[in-house]
Structure 1
Amino acid sequence: MERTQIASLKQMSKGMTLLYIEDDPQARDAANSLFSDFFDDVIVGFDGEDGARLFASNYHKIDLVITDITMPRMNGIEMIHAIRQINPDIAIIVLSAHNETSFLTQTIEAGVDGYLIKPLNVTQLIRSIGKVVEKLHLRYENKKNSLLLKQYENITNTSSIISKTDPKGVITFVNEKFCQISGFTKEELIGKPHNVIRHPDMPKTAFRDLWRTIKDEKRTWQGIVKNRAKNGDTYYVKTTVQPILNPEGEVQEYISLRHDITAIMSDKKQLFDFLEANRLSVLILVQIEDYNILEKFYDKASVEKIEDAFGKNMLYLMPNRWGFQRVYHLENGLYAFAIDRRNCKASKEEIHAVLEQFLMNVKEYVVKIDSIEYDISAICSFTYGIFKIFEDAKIGIENAIQTKQPIVYADGLSGIEYDNALKNIETIHIIKTAIDNRKIISYFQPIVNNQTQKIEKYESLVRLVTEDGQLLTPLYFLDTAKKGRYYSKITKIVLENSFAALYKISEAAISINLSVHDIERDEITHYIENLLVQHEDEAHRIIFELLESEDIKDFALIKQFIQKVKAKGVKIAIDDFGTGYSNFERLLSYEPDILKIDGSLIKNIHNNQINQHIVETVMLFAKKQNLSTVAEFVENETIYEIVRDMGIDYSQGFYFGKPEMF
């Protein structure tokens, strides 16, 4: 048992320093040898004055004093009082002989912590010193823990938003960071419930869950909370609420730690929160012009750098007459400025003028990142109101892109778009009904050889029959179909009808329109490949008409498709050639067999010299490339004779026949 106690005492006294004062050399040497087994450092004094001096110079590291009482120059009692002047809390043990009991009262008054009786032995030492050392050990542990707690408190106070409430949820404490983010002073917060910062968007169910967790279940609650500052701004905090329990297990108070995560919430969400909190706002959307071209020229990382650089400089480029505080970076080169209408009472003309200056500043601004220098150009839309303000501004941007206007006032555009949406819904219903009832049909318009006037080809043209028997051309339904999931179904029906028509005519070819979007869909290209396999013997009579387009995401994919179908005997025609986008180099990489000259150039060719010159240029190009040519919109004999004499190979138009069913 004694061995265990010795080991325990040595463990607790490890690292401690003892000041030992004894005037008797023999007793001093014997005790010092014993003390050295337990303490890492033993400082020895020879009398009271020496002991007081040694303590004064080493008090910062001395943990325990053991002293004799009867000593020359200064007795033990006097020395204890001197030491207590320096450190009132130092632990002191008196080492005395049996004949020194007269000093007992004085040592009690001096507040000593224990006694040892001469001569010393290990058992007595363990019993007396053990209790004192244990107290010292506990005191040091508490001190260390208090120091750690103080440091934890400091770092938590610096990094976290902290509040405490009583069991009823009334605020009893907030730190400085709480005041900074909320905009309230401590005086405005203490004594108030937490709903003073509650955002109205936060669902009540979230707070019911919080109170059930911390009050009823007495567990920690964690979650994301959306709050509203004094000025109305929204901010988000990751929150931990801990119930503090008393010894009886009852809630004494609640402590909440929060971390501001507003910066990592998406700008789009923050913009919507602002517009929700400020129902009457001015909203300006700014779109990087030709953003799709920017994406084609640079890799994703470079595009992001360009966007970030532009976003960071937009506040400097905007004539900040009304005090915009930030720029919201939304997506794909789209940004937003937003401000409460009370802070911007300008008319739409005044806002328009400011945006004109902004766009001028943007034109002069060049993004410089690494080795990149990029001239930014932008377009804007703006609106102010209460309902669908973002929807209005977004449609305004789309209109600006379509109409090439730099600035669009967008108020009320979403209402127009809503009407269009209703029409689209009606059209989609008509399309779905027609598909279900097999009322998507194909008409075929003849294409004649200009020299023999014999029909050598037919163009397959889609038509829709409504429930009341009306025949609709693609103009009335195809664009709407492209916005939904029915477009691919229509394409498949047209392909099926066209391949079936091969067996209703003798030698003529069937020309089928395909869009870039058709070829980019695996569903359609696989369907075409299967049809070409099924009708392998007639595949050489199929022509695919491709419409020129800038909206091609993957040129290699288009070329790969063309190579596959041409290998099976299919011919390729370029539709509506001569208008819109014409990249001759890219066109030739498709290795077309036929150019179909756009009808807008043909229908007035007999009285429009410019059109004649354009067609002559196209013909010169076609002949040099050994391509066949088709004139569309040949409506009368005069036009036919002109295109024939110009050397165009084929004609298509009402002069030779309207589209009909086989």
Structure 2
Amino acid sequence: MNILNKLTLLYKYDDGDICNSLMPYLSKLFEVVYKANDLDDLLKISKENRVDVILFEIAKEDKPTISTLDLIHKESIAKGIIILAKEESITSLQKAIEIHAHSYILNKKENLQTILKSIKSLSIKIDKELKESLIYDKLNKQFYELTRQYEIINKNIFLSYSDLDGNITDVTKAYLDFTGYCKEELIGKNHSVLKHVDLKKSYVEDLWSTISKNIIWRGEFQNIKKDGTLFWIKVVIEPLYDENGIKIGYCAIKEDITDKKRVEMLSVTDMLTSLFNRRYFSEILVKELGRAKRNMLNFCLIIVDVDYFKQYNDFYGHQAGDNVLRKIAECLSISSGRGNDFAFRIGGEEFAIITSNMDDDDVMNYVENIRLSIENLKINHEKSKVSDYVTASFGVMNFSPSIELLSSDDVYNIADKNLYEAKKDGRNRVVFYKNKIDKNLSCSIDKLTKLPDKAALFEAVHELEDRAMLMIISLNDFTHLKEQYDNKLLDNIIIEKSKDLRRTILDKETFLFRLSTNEFAILVTRQSQFEKYLSIMEYAILQNRVCEMVYKDVEYKIVINYTIGIAYGKKKLLNMANMALIKASSTTKGFYVYCGEIEQKEIRKQMLDKLKIYKEALDNDKIIPYFQPIVDVNSGKIFKYEALARLIDESGNIVTPYMFLDAVKEDKTWEYFTRQMLHKVFDIYSKNSVNLSINLTYENIASPSLIAYIKNRLDLFGGQRITFEIVESEDIKNYNLVEEFILFVKSYGCKIAIDDFGSGYSNFTNIVRLNTDYIKLDGTIIENLAKDKNVELMAISLINFAKKAGIKTIAEFVSSKEIALHVKELGIDFVQGYEYGKPELAEYYGLKS
């Protein structure tokens, strides 16, 4: 809105004709126009009200008026004064100059246009000054906040900055105090000035290899202070970019871990071989697996077992056996010389190596070289059945970073299984994967059922060499079950049904997968088995509907019905099976076998029919807001409501629009959907004194017309109780645009929440940069807190980050008292979920609509 229309004017005017001529223009230029009847009235009005412009008529030798002008100037009552002289007067002109009047004009009818121009130019000048003042105040506040943040960081955080060659460009006072250096001694120097002589060259090479690819590097260093004291630091190094996205250097965040490392080294070393021990193996396996996932690196575990070692000990004696273990340990230690390599003794004659960032061919060569180096020790072994010398067998696991759900136990079990195969196949050999499908199944495991997951199915189908049979099995009415039973009982149901399905797998060429909460798949790769599994599906799986179990001392007998889609082929097998599943839902027998192109056209027609429902709802104003409460953890009271979109179909059913989201975005109607939603939410907002959250996508923010509409709503209703929720994801192409939007809505007092934080794409730097008020932890994190310790640790990290950044946290999907208590213990500020209320119409929560 133009500030000009917010200005006020006060006039004292004796000439009625000129005054009457001016009033129509003054009413348009100023929001409020005050008239003073005399000098006392003028002073009274100016003291009781904000006055921007004073229009003042003065006589030739009017001493009271001149005294009043002095008072107005002295107390800065107005931002500008225009003096209209009844007649020419040196005294009044001097007074006008003295008080810095904007204009001095003879009050004559022929000067009417000059008077109007002067009033307008003064108004524009004040308008500009007000805008500049607002911008200055905002920039000044932001500068103060940034300066304060820098001071806190400089005093308390170990930080250093370097150019692209690793030369130090800046370092915090905290790190200088710790190392004993002054800034002048480090600026321009390479970080190697602090490096300990024992730091492996390969470790540094791995660091540079990682950060040169713009990947964040995490690790530990042993460094030297200025006085020669050794210390250990934990380091995170990430790239720095300028405003054009060009990399200009690196930032290293450091933490002193010296005391921890001293104790650690005593407790993690195997005394016989000086390799790391079994306890440390378990810790590093989890840690390095997590690092590989975060940095999108391949992860490798190698388990080594000395062949016929018991026989060696029995024949040569235990002291000779110990010497063999030391020599093999030395081979492993030399081979694992890279910065991200770790060698362990994990049992009597069993060793392990953990490494990362190698493809399958590199790993195979790496392990084969280790195998040969052990055999080339030429340690005689008369009791070996595979060689005249001591040898070893190797089980190897190397997995892709795109597979997120693999746990440390899964990795170990797969490598151990491959070691068993190596021994069974004759020893003194390396076993990686027996075939491509086995590899895919090993690399992507569902946490709950320990079955291969959807990603594994995609890969397995991709690797098919011949025609196969695929059955997708859906557990019906699972949403209804979620409303009746708690999450733990539902998990038990899924586990039991997965066991039932496992029992139907009768050969090694058939594989079972878990695709989602209530969907499984069976892939049959041998064509001779197709008919057998079709019969198993019809007469075993579909008939096994009752699930019996005891949970919390209560016996349950729950009926589970299936819908099954079946397809045969190689290309588009998944698409065909999914189409068959959709068709099966409308049959009475519970399954459907895909037959060809006719079914594809039918499925496409069904999808178009669904999209038609959406468009009819949009055209007929059937988009409605539902509201779900967000509750303050400490007070237990509703803090605000999130507005969630629903649509009404032609039968009056309430449908979520998000099943149409991708198609809708493509045909450009999503903005109109959002506009209709905003209109109704702001209407409810205007009638209720409650806080509301509204969801926006990046597409919304990038639309000038929608931003103009949001401005219109905020101008009408204000924004002090509005929170805009934005999903921070890789879809955001222009963060400057998002920042501009946030600054714009915050000028109305709105708050900003980042939705689905922790869901896979979460940039901590951007969260701070975007001046966020809340982050909403992704529902999948909250649902799995009690099931997975790694998820809980991730949640704790996110919450701690938010607290340090002054950002409030909201937990979504809080569906039980157990989850509510858990998130409260973790320090969450607000909670949202079925435990506190389902999405309902405004009236359900007592809101006027």
Same fold flag (TM > 0.5)? no
Q: Which has the higher contact order (CA 8 A, sep 6+)?
A: 1
TM-score (structure 1 length as normaliser):
0.37
Structure of larger gyration radius: 1
